[in-house]
Amino acid sequence: METAKILDGKALAAKIQQELADTITASQPKIGRPPGLAVLMVGDNPASAAYVKNKEKACAKVGIASFGRHFPTQTSQSELEAVIEELNQDERVDGILVQLPLPKHLDAISLLHKIAPDKDADGLHPVNLGRLVRDEPGLRSCTPAGVMRLLEEYKIPLMGKQAVVVGRSILVGKPMALMLLAANATVTIAHSRTQDLKTITQNADILVAAAGIPGLITAEMVKPGAVVVDVGINRVTDSNGKSRLIGDIDFTTIADVAEYITPVPGGIGPMTVAILLQNTVFSYLQTNSN
């Protein structure tokens, strides 16, 4: 039995970053400043801190200025709203992102609504989700846009194919389904409460697992020759107390069934960051195109 080909998100992310660096080098003399991204983090969640550090490192690599701010856990909603308002007005900032999850006392949704839609680097503002629904140009949710870009890179045909998305979050599942639909796939959305999930996933030519449940998708749930994209990032600790990252699929057994597969880590994670940078550069060029 052949093993599935790997969809290498890490390599493609590096290629996208190089293209963005070249774009910035060419545009900066005309615009007179580099693109700017502000990542706001509240509290001291170690996973969030690692993600933020990653994003800032990636920014530095391509030539995006970081205007990130780190706030203590007890920061109030109104303080954060004031900071977002300030960043909305700041001409050096093209993208604003609030790192989730936030401490319990804060309302993430209303903070997100405060971000100017054209600076919404995460592509999650209702205006940008509306543009996605209407198939209009705009900032796209980073993770699903990263999945689409990876499928495109490997020339995986989507037109007329059966696509199944497992997961229905506003972060991944719903925008993912809309993007696949825009590419003329026939899309089914399943989730943790779907009855007989196996029957549904077995029909998928393209299967996207984004439920946040470790090992949810097993080999017998996958159609032979399918393309399996794992969006899950779950930290699990083994009996020796060692922690590692795994996805929503059982990688080893599915690799014997699928034609293409994404690894965790090294698959969709790096693509999410690459699209975040791409969104920031998109805003930068849009703002300065007049």
Please give the positions annotated as active site. 55, 99, 122
Q: Are 235 and 212 in contact (CB under 8 A)?
A: no
Alpha-carbon gap, residue 230 to 107, rounded angstroms: 29
Q: Which residue has the tokens 């970081």?
A: 66
Q: Are 94 and 279 in contact (CB under 8 A)?
A: no
Is 160 part of any known ligand binding site? no
Is 233 part of any known ligand binding site? yes
CB atoms within 10 A of CB 289: 7
Q: Are 125 and 140 in contact (CB under 8 A)?
A: no
Whole-angstrom CA distances from 31 to 18, 88, 290 are 20, 19, 11
Is 266 part of any known ligand binding site? no
Is 193 part of any known ligand binding site? no
Cα-Cα end-to-end distance for the chain: 56
Annotated binding site: 167-169, 233
Q: Which residues are annotated as a binding site for NADP(+)?
A: 167-169, 233
